[in-house]
Amino acid sequence: MVKVLQLNLNHCRSTQDLLSQTVSEQNIDVAILSEPYRPKPEGVWQQSTNGGAAIWSCGQPPGHIAQRATRPGYARAKFQGTTIYSCYLAPSLHTDEFREIVQEIDQDARGRSPVIIAGDFNAWSTAWGSTRTTQRGTIILDAFSTLDVCLLNDGRRCTFSKSGRESYIDLTFASPELTRNSYWEVTHLLTYSDHAAIVFQTRQNQLHQTSRETAYRVHTLNYEVLLNCMDANTITGEANTCADAISARIKAACDAAMEKSTKGGGRRPVP
d(CA 210, CA 250) in angstroms, rounded, equals: 20
**Among the three residues 191, 207, 223, which one is the final residue of a domain in this structure?**
207
- Residue 158 to residue 108: CA distance in whole angstroms: 29
- 166 and 245 both lie in a single domain: no
| Cα separation of the two ends of the chain | 22
Mean pLDDT on 41-65:
82
Domain boundary, last residue among 207, 228, 253 = 207
Q: How many CA atoms lie within 13 A of 103 on its CB side?
A: 8
Summary mean pLDDT of the chain = 85
Is residue 64 predicted with pLDDT exceeding 90? no
Last residue of a domain, which of 207, 234, 255? 207
Q: Which domain holds residue 254?
A: 214-263
Above 80 in pLDDT, residue 54? yes
CB 141 within 8 A of CB 125: yes
pLDDT above 90: residue 34: yes
Q: In the prediction, which pLDDT does 208 show?
A: 45
Same domain, 39 and 161: yes
Q: Between residues 169 and 209, which one has the greater pLDDT? A: 169
Per-residue pLDDT at 211 exceeds 50 = no
- Mark whether 109 and 238 lie in a shared domain: no
Q: Is the pLDDT of residue 53 over 50?
A: yes
The secondary element (H helix, E strand) that includes residue 174 is: strand 170-174
Give the per-residue pLDDT at 125. Answer: 96
Q: How far apart are CA 219 and CA 88, in angstroms?
A: 43
140 lies in a domain?
Answer: yes
Which residues, 6 or more positions from 187, have their beta carbon under 8 angstroms from its beta carbon?
Answer: 196, 197, 198, 199
Other Cβ atoms closer than 10 A to 133: 15
User: Is residue 233 scored above 80 in pLDDT?
Assistant: no
Same domain, 221 and 195: no
